[in-house]
Amino acid sequence: MRRITRPFADTAATLRNIIDLGGIPPKDYSQAATAIGTLREFAAHCKANDATGIARAFQPHEVATIRRYVVTESGWNLQIDRNLGASESEVKQ
């Protein structure tokens, strides 16, 4: 087993210097990477499944919860969409 002799903080600082995030905070970058996977999977699910049939299959006691999920996801997706324009204009410069 190889022993690491440098303190973790030094190693983390070195890794930050190696990976250029273009000024993006590491936490935001990590969350974006996770979101890309989640959005890709959900988009694939949406393409492969009929929303009408799924909506009809929910039990009456599930409807209020499902609506809260849909409202949350719709609002979040709208915020992402609105802010993607800022990213596109920054990339073009």
- Please give the pLDDT value at position 40: 96
pLDDT more than 70, % of the chain: 72
> pTM of the full predicted structure?
0.65
Cβ–Cβ < 8 Å for 4, 11: yes
**Top-confidence residue, 4 or 18:** 18
What is the number of residues in the chain? 93
The pLDDT tens digits for 37-74 are 999 999 999 999 999 999 999 999 999 999 999 999 99
Cβ–Cβ < 8 Å for 16, 25: no
Q: What does the alpha-carbon distance between residue 58 and residue 64 come to, in Å, rounded to a whole number?
A: 10
